Structure 1
Amino acid sequence: MKKPLSQIWDLESLFPGGSSSKPFHDYLEKNESDIHELSAQIKKLKTPENARDIQPLADVVTLLQSVAIRIRQAGAFIGCLTAQNQKDKQAILLGGRTKTISAQYASALTQFEQILMEIDGSTWQEILNDDRFKDIAFPLDEKRRLASDKLPPEQEALVNDLAVDGYHGWGELYNTTVSQMTIPFEEDGKVKDLSVGQAQNKLSDPNKAVRDEMSNRWEEAWSKNADFCADALNHLAGFRLSLYKHRGWEDLHKEPLDYNRMSQQTLNVMWETIDKNKDIFLTYFERKAKLLGVDKLSWNDVNAPIGSDSNKISYDDAADFIVEQFNKFSPKMADFTTHAFNQSWIEAEDRAGKRPGAFCTSLPDSKETRVFMTYSGTASNVSTLAHELGHAYHQHVMNDLPPLAQQYAMNVAETASTFAEMIVADASVKAASNEEERLALLEDKVQRSVAFYMNIHARFIFETNFYTERKKGLVGVDRLNELMVSAQKEAFKDSLKDYHPHFWASKLHFYLTRVPFYNFPYTFGYLFSAGIYARALEEGQGFEDKYIALLQDTASMPVEELASKHLGVDLTKPDFWQSAIDLSIEDVKEFLELTK
């Protein structure tokens, strides 16, 4: 009999001792020491003798990449510790230390970028063509180009230092506020104080009475904490807008578009094409309302399950199913996934004290990854597990590239994960044991399309409008609620009975400081992966090496060039987006046929 897979991840192999780990403490000290050395080496690049010699530059780049990899490793380890136990105070303190180290690195990097910017054009081309820099020519050139849009190095260094207790501090205050929240809810005749994560699960409960009751309590709870959330959101936006002003940036989307290596034209065409295709989803809403026995869907009905997927899937069976489906498209991805399960890289145990949600984090120094989720045996859990393993495989195929060539952005990161999820979701529908289960799984797929086309669109509209108003001054709770409902009505074509005014407070993504506009990259990744999935269906395992090559290029060119090189498509035209959307439209048509 096969030994059951562990559902608790192994962190001891990384740094034994958890948040009290002496090896990890030494690791952080090494990072701090190397950043001081990096700063010293960068200053030497300004000397006349070094300005004429490429080797000192190559030495700086080598050390810079080494430090960058170890900062990512440290941040990932801290993230794992705080996710597995939200009350690990020592891990939280270590997180503050790693943010300070990251700020020091960012300041050194700014000095380095300034030096790159001062190199004349002909010399710069010689550097990029040199064998020592060929594999990282794109990210180096990108850093040089973007540096010209920033403040002088000394001012950027000050920004990085002040951001630790200012900008990032407001994000941490939001996290603290949410961690203290509880939402009372009656279950089995007893009132229980649920965490935010536990309460959120009730919003998609099959029982409408449960959904409606929790929806009321959910709004009430966020209303009580709205002033704290509004303070955090206003000051986060204020910090960003002040920085943009001093840098001379007028376009709100400049930073997220630069980060995602994506043009405004591509973003506009993507949303325009989605908007033209929403009508069939409104028909789906009407059908779903009838199936749920209501005249019109409420906000909390959108994610309500249809049919029954009550059959629980064991963790081991889920692992076998995922590996089997991956193998049909990519034996290499299947082998990697088997390795991840066997090496206990996945934290899936359903227990108290864990943070809600799921993620994959990269540990590039040890060339490993870790996946976090809470597995309870639902079909949705299986999809989530596949999604996170897709992220893990993306990092796996990048591990042997130079560190600077591994820094892919969020939009393409979501491509690999969603591709993996699509493989498993499609296979699950086909493997359904009866029509009721098939309908439930199919509707779960359609729900994901609605999330990317409408819910994410509402977030994008809200943030754009909020930042525009924030330029004029603080935005109060009532106005934030109005902006949120207005965005939801626009994105959902005013097709719902009611909306979620405090969504701006309850959604963590608005408060993340690492990436601004943490929304549209999800939709990009969903549709880009749909195009890749369509190609994979055509070619089967013959597409494997092409897929790997595409992933390995994700940090080495803009997305438009990536799509043209590997898929032969133009992202600035609606054709590709329409072909990707057509796949989800087929799901809606099948749903409507099954329920007519």
Structure 2
Amino acid sequence: MTCSATRHPIGDFLGAPQTTMPDTALASTGDGPDLGALPSWDLTDLYPGMDSAELKADLERMERASKDFYEKYATKLAGLDGNAFAAAIREYEHIDEVLSRVMSYAGLVYNGNMTDPTIAKFYQSAQERVNGISTHLVFFTLEINRLEDKVLDAKLKASKDLARYAPWLRDVRLFREHQLSDEVERLLHEKHVVGRAAWNRLFDETIASLRFPIGGKELTCAEALNRLSDRNPAVRKEAGAVIGRVMGDNIRLFALVTNTLAKDKEIDDKWRNYKAPTSARNLSNRVEDEVVDALAAAVKDAYPALSHRYYAMKAKWFGQDHLDYWDRNAPLPDDADRSIRWDEARDLVLGAYGRFSPDLAALGKRFFDNAWIDAPVRPGKAPGAFAHPTVPSVHPYLLVNYQGKTRDVMTLAHELGHGVHQILAGGQGHLLSDTPLTLAETASVFGEMLTFRALLDRETDPKRRKIMLASKVEDMLNTVVRQIAFFDFERRVHTERREGELTAERLGEIWMAVQTESLGPALRFDEGYRNYWSYIPHFIHSPFYVYAYAFGDCLVNSLYAVYQESETGFAEKYLAMLSAGGTLRHQELLAPFGLDASDPAFWQKGLNVIRGFVDELENQP
């Protein structure tokens, strides 16, 4: 699955930081089973169209407003009293929100069809225009960070209006030690659209244009990946080989993109004085390096007890000593995996949400009652799935590629969790609604768990329950083990890149090393699998994003255990946590549940849930 739960930076749409969890079931073509009427989103709540007068007027209005804002406040913040400073932040927030609305619209249109040249031109033009307008705003946070603590504290104490923005000011000032001069920051800001953003676009459009000849058809990347979970082993084997070959045919381009962006990040980290390649991401997630290192170490230590053990079991279920990589996500031999129509999927997910909290289900229902979800597969459409919050004055949108498999239902539950979280956090306003990635995965993974438990509880057939439990374990391994392996891959690549460019062959060697270590001796690979790193868009759009999945899964496992043990009041506390948006840190948000992510034992609690599921499978006939 893919998801994004964070508000994009101005001028750069990351509505899918294209954060795909690879090798999971994605979309199929329209020649499959009858899924009912699949909804497509209606983006007119943002703007009527790419050439609409409303969009043009907003851009012109914000161009004037940003210039006026600069003239009004540049070099003057220190002399403002508390109330005047609060008024300045409100003006900044308004401009930022309108520009974010523009880029949300442009990005969603683009993700709907990345191969249409007219749309691609519109998206690029919107990025360039918004980037140019927002250049006039760059000074604001830089100047805020030059204020002395005692000066800012005095302003906060003197103004209730300003005190409301204290969490935002706190987070802005996290980066004080890492900001550069105003001139350099403006230069980097203006060059972004022809730098990292351009390489992102090259990757996206290349992936969207690739075709994979499988079963006599020319398939998209999403459709090819879907064949890795086909019931027919011959189809899976062919898909595995074709994906490796097609990516291999383009591997020099993907190696160039990866090397260029890794070097770009190294230069940025050096100038900004980040001590490690992961430090900037951790700081933006409001989580300490030590907490992330403890998570990664705990998961890696658990590889033998989790993934190694499970895939050895799965190989035996297939009557083999080893499991070929193209069979890793294969349905179990007795798994019929019937097709689930869209209306049934909707009712399953909303029913699971409703049993936990009617209020949560009511929020989720709004996505289905309105045209806020884009479900069908289309040529050129972004693969996987994501939730994009747009701006609080509108509403989030969800993109999925719905095929009707159980995993697609779980993906819908996941993205809907993001959506309701984004609505609840939106009550904090544009600047305060942004949730760090580590906590942004909480609602999505919790929504998956609610849906899984609901499906499991209604199943009485022991064989079917075993299949469902195995499917859930595979999803959890994809979320925790696989993502930490990806995180390890990135760390190795970015560290080694500092010594010079990595060849495609070397990138493949690092990939194979982390895959062998994480998946275990039961998995069997061939040369084609060496190229599988190259289609994973996390690495391109958002370096080191991936550990947020593992963070969220382990957090939710611990959170769900508290829920099962609690009698009353949990749902209310849970909704309050989601409604906090970015106003509180993870320590403050988890304290009401008696949880502390800085405690090394915390991660073991989450991993023990997965271990318990594997134990249960191992003890079944």
Residues 10-67 of structure 1: per-residue CA shift (max 9 Å, x gap) = 22333223x3333223233333333323322331625xxx715334322220011112
Residues 208, 123 of structure 1: alpha-carbon distance in 2 compared, 3 angstrom cutoff: same
How far did residue 373 of structure 1 move?
Answer: 1.0
Counterpart position of 1:39: 70
Which residue of 195, 205, 216 corresponds with 1:176?
Answer: 205
1:13 to 12, 37, 45: 45
Question: Cα offset for 1:257?
Answer: 0.3
Letter in 2 for 1:178: I
User: In structure 2, the residue corresponding to 1:184 is in which secondary structure?
Assistant: strand
| CA apart distance, 1:423 | 0.4
CA distance in 2, matches of 1:229, 1:540: 52
Q: Which residue of 2 aligns with 1:579?
A: 605
TM-superposition CA deviations, 1:355-405 (whole Å, max 9, x none): 321111113243311111122221111111111110011111112213221
Which of residues 107, 121, 132 is equivalent to 1:93? 121
> Per-residue deviation at 1:494?
4.5
Which residue does the alignment assign to 1:359? Answer: 386
1:102 Cα deviation from its structure 2 partner: 4.9
For 2:320 and 2:100, the matched residues in 1 are separated by 49
Q: Residue type of the partner of 2:81?
A: D
1:287–1:364 distance in 2 versus 1, CA, 3 Å: same
The reply on whether 1:241 has 2:266 as its aligned counterpart is yes
Q: Is the contact between residue 106 and residue 157 of structure 1 (CA under 8 Å) also seen in structure 2?
A: no
Deviation at 1:156, TM superposition (A): 1.1
Q: 1: CA distance between counterparts of 2:381 and 2:559?
A: 34
* Shift in CA distance, 536/91, structure 1 to aligned 2, threshold 3 Å: farther
Per-residue deviation at 1:321?
A: 1.8
Q: Structure 1 residue 215 and structure 2 residue 247: aligned?
A: no
Partners of 2:402 and 2:106 lie apart in 1 by 22
Q: Does the aligned pair in 2 maintain the 1:489–1:495 contact within 8 Å?
A: no
Please state how far the C-alpha of 1:263 moved relative to its aligned partner: 0.7
Could you list the runs of 5+ residues in structure 1 that have no partner in the other structure? none
Greater mean deviation of Cα atoms: 99-108 or 236-245? 99-108
Q: Could you tell me how far apart the structure 2 residues matched to 1:535 and 1:196 are?
A: 40
Q: 1:6 to 1:402 in 2, by over 3 A?
A: same
* 8 Å CA contact 1:328, 1:540 repeated in 2: no
Shift, 1:117, TM fit? 2.5
Q: How far apart are residue 352 of structure 1 and its match? A: 4.4
* SS of 2:310 mapped into structure 1: helix
Work out the CA distance in 2 between the residues paired with 1:220 and 1:203.
Answer: 15
In structure 2, what is the Cα distance between the partners aligned to 1:145 and 1:510? 24
User: Structure 1 counterpart of 2:212, which letter?
Assistant: I
Are the aligned partners of 1:261 and 1:557 in contact in 2 as well (CA < 8 Å)? no
Give identity over the alignment, percent.
Answer: 26
Q: 1:5, 1:505 → 2: CA distance?
A: 34
Indicate if the aligned counterparts of 1:446 and 1:588 stay in contact, CA closer than 8 A: yes
Q: Is the 8 A contact 2:299 2:484 kept in 1?
A: no
Offset at residue 139 of structure 1 (A): 1.8
**Partner of residue 25, structure 1:** 56
Q: Which amino acid aligns with 2:251?
A: A
1:79 to 107, 129, 133: 107
Task: Letter of the 1:296 partner, please give it.
Answer: H
1:301 matched residue in structure 2 = 327
Q: Is residue 151 of structure 2 the alignment partner of residue 126 of structure 1?
A: no
2:619 is equivalent to residue 590 of structure 1? no
Q: Per-residue deviation at 1:182?
A: 1.0
Measured in 1, the distance between the counterparts of 2:429 and 2:46 equals 21
**Equivalent position of 2:164 in the other structure:** 135
CA RMSD of aligned residues (A): 2.1
Q: Deviations over 1:552-588 (max 9, x none)?
A: 334123323432x332222222222111222222221
Task: Summarize the Cα distance change of 1:504–1:272 in structure 2 as closer, same or farther, 3 Å threshold.
Answer: same
2:480 corresponds to which of 447, 453, 464: 453
Q: Name the SS for the 2:164 alignment partner.
A: helix
Distance 1:458 1:53, change over 3 A: same
Paired letter, 1:421: E
Say yes or no: does 1:424 pair with 2:451.
Answer: yes
Aligned: 1:275 with 2:275: no
Question: Contact 2:46 / 2:394 at 8 angstroms: preserved in 1?
Answer: no
Match of 2:182 among 116, 136, 153: 153
Q: CA 1:353–1:275 in structure 2 vs 1: closer, same or farther (change >3 Å)? A: closer
State the one-letter code of the partner of 1:229: F
The answer as to whether partners of 1:454 and 1:491 remain within 8 angstroms in 2 is yes
Q: Under a length normalisation based on structure 2, what TM-score does the superposition of the two structures give?
A: 0.89
Decide whether aligned partners of structure 1 residues 494 and 40 sit closer, same or farther in structure 2, where only a CA change above 3 A counts: farther
Residue type at the aligned position of 1:300: W
Post-superposition CA distance 1:216-266 (Å, at most 9, x none): 111111111001111111111111111111222231111110111101111
Offset at residue 89 of structure 1 (A): 3.0
CA distance in 2, matches of 1:482, 1:168: 28
Query: What is the CA deviation profile of residues 177-230 of structure 1, one whole-angstrom value per residue up to 9, with x for unaligned ones?
Result: 2222111112xxxx2211111111112222222212211111111111001111
The answer for the alignment partner of 2:214 in structure 1 is 185
Q: Is the 8 A contact 1:546 1:566 kept in 2?
A: yes
Larger CA deviation: 454-463 vs 268-277 = 268-277
The one-letter amino acid of 1:10's match is D
Query: 1:136-162, CA deviations, whole angstroms, 9 ceiling, x for partnerless residues?
Result: 212212212313312111101111112
1:199 aligns with 2:224: yes
CA deviations 1:472-509 (Å, max 9, x no partner) are: 22111111111111122232345422263112211111
1:567 to 569, 590, 593: 593
1:284 to 1:365, Cα distance in 2 relative to 1, 3 A: closer
Partners of 1:38 and 1:438 in 2: how far apart? 60
Look up the SS of the partner of 1:502 in the other structure. helix
Q: Is the Cα–Cα contact under 8 Å of residues 208 and 381 in structure 2 kept in the other structure?
A: no
Query: What is the SS of the residue equivalent to 2:524?
Result: coil
Q: Which amino acid in structure 2 is aligned with residue 575 of structure 1?
A: A
